[in-house]
Structure 1
Amino acid sequence: MERPAAAQEGARPVFAAGVPGWLALLLGFLTAVGPISTDIYLPAFPAMEQSFHTTAGNVQFTLAIWFMGLAIGQLSVGPLADRYGRRMPLLVGNALYAAASAVCAFAPDVTTFSAARFVASIGASASLVVPTACVRDVVSDRAAGARMMSRLIMVMGVVPILAPMLGGLVVEFVSWRIIFWASAVYGVACVALVLWVLPETLPYQKRQSLSPITLLTRYVALLGDRGYSVYAMVTACSTFMSFSYLTAAPFVFVRLFHFSPLHFSMLFGVMAVFMIGASQVNGLLVGRVDPGRLLSGGVVLSVVGTVLMVGVSLWGGWYASPASKGYEVWLVIATMVLALAPTGIIFPNAMMMALADHPSQAGAASALAGTLQYVLGALAGVVVGLFAATSALPMAGCMCLGALMMLGMHMLRPTGRGGA
């Protein structure tokens, strides 16, 4: 009996001559939808508050809604990508993101904006899940996969470096609504690239069945795999640390250290440059150094950085004299670099080690890991908000908590699985 044409096509390697360099560029561009949509509209919060005649809390809640949609969307998109292939969820997801972003652009009130923002996050979740699964589809070797993930992180990191500055310039000179028209255009560009450039990376014969029971069983099985759950939680605890910084940094540097919005945006970019640089160092070292050792080194550096940041914050808040207060900001920035830069090493290695033993369920595995990341990221925002922000200590303390949780999870990793 002759196999379907799709099955015959899926039997051939996607890239017979080797994975092309442009694939990481394309996947990075797609994955950047999530970070840029998170960062670019943060400078617009005060303008949105005035435009919608609402409170600052209601505008800030739209960010929580965004994270909530990303967490929910990833759980459903991952299995869909394992069932129907990688291209279809990306096409539908980015089209949904573009349409919902356009609604955000002309929303008359914060309720309409929040609803559209939630729908946009559901669509954007496809671009957070599927590119990682594509990497696992075309690269089976852990070292090669970690190198490709490092390139992907570099590409997806370039846009978020510019996002806050671009958002600030838009708010300064034109309406904040232009930000969401630009987001809609970005979504349309992603649809075009997937439609005309990205090949299907999941062979027909490797696609998984889809049913509620199968889905639940798949997620339970993944969580029951110690190797997967430990490394997925390492990435999630790293996200808790990063989102503690993202949530608290605007207040700490603008309100306490008196940075201008432009200078804060530049600081935001500098931090991203260090993280991207670390990911490229990781790409050079993978293959020469065991990924488990790289991961261990990155986790230890983050813990050391956050502990030092807590010490600096305690000194600055309780013991520093007025004459020495000027040094506090530079010490906080230096320790923050030490804490956050290693995430460029931690994420690609932990993610590839989590997916290594689940090639046929890469979509579901990537989705569950992404959901854990955004759940802990949202939790970080809640925890930071519980403390009065009268110093840098709440930010430093929450970042340290995330780093210590990451260290604890890393210590539970199974032996003999690329972990040193």
Structure 2
Amino acid sequence: MTIMRPAWACSLSAALLLMAPFDILASLAMDIYLPVVPVMPAVLNTTPSIVQLSLSLYMVMLGVGQVIFGPVSDRVGRRPVLLVGGMIFIVASLGAAWSETATVFVVFRLLQAAGASAMLVATFATVRDIYADQPESVVIYGLLSSVLAFVPAVGPIAGALISEFAGWRAIFITLAVLALPALLNAGFRWRETRPLDQARRRRSVLPIFASLAFWVYTLAFGAGMGTFFVFFSTAPRVLMGRANHSGAGFSMAFASVALIMVVTTRFSRSLVARWGVAGCVARGMVLLLCGAILLGMGELLGSPSFSTFILPMWVMAVGIVFTVSVTANGALAHFDDIAGSAVAFYFCIQSLIVSVAGTLAVTLLNGDSAWPVIWYATTMAGVVLAGLVLLRLRRIPAEKAVWH
């Protein structure tokens, strides 16, 4: 079935400048707020548990909201969902900045997450609409994932500086100020990309969950980004707590991993052309396993250091890019006519995998060591490789039927 697609006039670089701010802001709204969490109970005259609720609800709504806005974007289009989501994000950010009570603050944080989830769905559904099965999609997915690797490192530092010089309210005002030019730019340049004939069809979303490819490649994305999440959660305790790195030294070491991801993205398009989607994911999983082995050797034979903790993560960083650059193409390949819904479930499910399995790894194992990263990467890579074998075994009979 041929999908009729509207024209998209933006070059690849212009598309990245148009889309990236919405992806970054959705994550930054979480990380930039972290430094002021300890003082918020006194500011809002509430308990720490209520302030923690503002963090938890943001994460929950970010995932649940995508499931809501994904089907909506399939019905009404990507552009209106993006613009409405951006406006909600700006208004909610300003509302949070001027909140005087805990209840009002939590409500605005919930609305902020709803706006962020709409922006995410519209952004990635647009990527799928325009660049489905094209080499440019590899560059976009890889760069967006790599840039997001910097956000957890930069966000808290930015939040601490802003709150120190201008107060906690300025953090949320900053988010609104950053979102405004991105939204204005989108208002002038973001064209509707929903397939032209989609409005006449209302396909069920159930085939998404029956697709083995969807689950294997969604798990693969969770394996890659989850490994980085666990690394992010343990790195401060390992490098500053045990290896005695300074704050600046830790930041440089952490940033080097994200830099490796950005550099690797430069070569990802040609590698996908050579290896294909499954080949890139398989090699990405093998690199995760190699990095896990190196981390294990460092834990057993040495002490925490740049060479025993960060250098193995460089190997994993290459594997992460190999993986996350192509998994969307693999998972969403057969759902172009319901791309909004498919993208929403794709990101929602992998977010649950990362948050639940990643948190369990850090909590149950020694978070002052590399063992959580080792366990998560090894387990997830093993599951994904087994899934790739199953996909290959299912494909062989179909290929034989074509030739016979």
User: Shorter-chain TM-score: which interval?
Assistant: 0.7 to 0.9
Q: 1:165 aligns with which of 157, 161, 166?
A: 157
Are 1:251 and 2:237 counterparts?
Answer: yes
TM-score by length of 1: 0.81
Distance 2:5 2:355 in 1: 42
Q: Which moved more, 1:171-180 or 1:150-159?
A: 150-159
Distance 1:18 1:181 in 2: 30
Q: What is the match of residue 328 of structure 2?
A: 351
User: RMSD in angstroms over aligned alpha carbons?
Assistant: 3.1
Q: What is the match of residue 33 of structure 2?
A: 41
Are 1:14 and 2:7 counterparts?
Answer: yes
Q: What is the match of residue 3 of structure 1?
A: none
The answer to whether the 8 Å contact 1:241/1:403 transfers is no
Q: Which moved more, 1:53-62 or 1:124-133?
A: 53-62
Structure 1 residues 345 and 72: alpha-carbon distance in aligned structure 2, compared to 1, 3 A threshold: same
Q: What is the match of residue 301 of structure 1?
A: 287
Distance 2:250 2:50 in 1: 23
Are 1:381 and 2:359 counterparts?
Answer: yes
Q: Deviations over 1:66-118 (max 9, x none)?
A: 22111101101111111111101101111111222223323445554443322
Letter in 1 for 2:121: V
Q: What is the match of residue 125 of structure 1?
A: 117
Q: What is the match of residue 332 of structure 1?
A: 309
Distance 1:100 1:305 in 2: 41
The answer to whether the 8 Å contact 2:361/2:375 transfers is no
Structure 1 residues 398 and 143: alpha-carbon distance in aligned structure 2, compared to 1, 3 A threshold: same
Letter in 2 for 1:229: W
- Secondary structure class of the residue paired with 2:273: coil
Letter in 2 for 1:350: T
The answer to whether the 8 Å contact 2:219/2:380 transfers is no
Letter in 1 for 2:232: L
Q: What is the match of residue 279 of structure 1?
A: 265
Are 1:241 and 2:210 counterparts?
Answer: no
Counting aligned pairs with the same residue, the percent is 27
The answer to whether the 8 Å contact 1:19/1:138 transfers is no
Are 1:412 and 2:398 counterparts?
Answer: no
Q: 2:209 aligns with which of 223, 229, 232?
A: 223
- Secondary structure class of the residue paired with 1:200: coil
User: Offset of 1:209 from its aligned partner?
Assistant: 6.0
User: Offset of 1:12 from its aligned partner?
Assistant: 7.8
Structure 1 residues 409 and 312: alpha-carbon distance in aligned structure 2, compared to 1, 3 A threshold: farther
User: Offset of 1:278 from its aligned partner?
Assistant: 1.9
Letter in 1 for 2:213: G
User: Offset of 1:25 from its aligned partner?
Assistant: 2.3
User: Offset of 1:155 from its aligned partner?
Assistant: 5.9
The answer to whether the 8 Å contact 1:85/1:202 transfers is yes
Distance 2:327 2:200 in 1: 24
Unaligned runs of 5+ in 1: 1-9
Distance 1:158 1:403 in 2: 23
Q: What is the match of residue 97 of structure 2?
A: 105
Q: Deviations over 1:17-72 (max 9, x none)?
A: 78554113212222222232233333444444664577766655544332211110
Q: Deviations over 1:281-305 (max 9, x none)?
A: 2124333442322222112101211
The answer to whether the 8 Å contact 1:303/1:407 transfers is no
The answer to whether the 8 Å contact 1:302/1:403 transfers is yes
Q: What is the match of residue 6 of structure 1?
A: none
The answer to whether the 8 Å contact 2:234/2:369 transfers is no
Distance 2:99 2:240 in 1: 29
Letter in 1 for 2:177: V
User: Offset of 1:123 from its aligned partner?
Assistant: 1.2
Q: 1:267 aligns with which of 233, 253, 258?
A: 253
User: Offset of 1:202 from its aligned partner?
Assistant: 1.4
Letter in 2 for 1:349: V
Structure 1 residues 270 and 141: alpha-carbon distance in aligned structure 2, compared to 1, 3 A threshold: same
TM-score by length of 2: 0.84
Distance 1:265 1:47 in 2: 24
Q: Which moved more, 1:269-278 or 1:283-292?
A: 283-292
Q: Deviations over 1:106-142 (max 9, x none)?
A: 3445554443322211210122222222122123434
The answer to whether the 8 Å contact 1:68/1:374 transfers is no
Q: Deviations over 1:240-278 (max 9, x none)?
A: 322222333333334333444444333333222122222
Unaligned runs of 5+ in 2: 397-404
Q: Which moved more, 1:343-352 or 1:80-89?
A: 343-352
Distance 2:392 2:351 in 1: 24
The answer to whether the 8 Å contact 2:220/2:381 transfers is no
Alignment size in residue pairs: 392
Are 1:370 and 2:335 counterparts?
Answer: no
- Secondary structure class of the residue paired with 2:391: coil
Pairing 1:80-91 to 2, within 5 Å after superposition? 80-91=72-83
Q: Which moved more, 1:254-263 or 1:48-57?
A: 48-57
Letter in 2 for 1:389: G
Structure 1 residues 122 and 98: alpha-carbon distance in aligned structure 2, compared to 1, 3 A threshold: same
The answer to whether the 8 Å contact 1:313/1:396 transfers is no
User: Offset of 1:363 from its aligned partner?
Assistant: 0.8
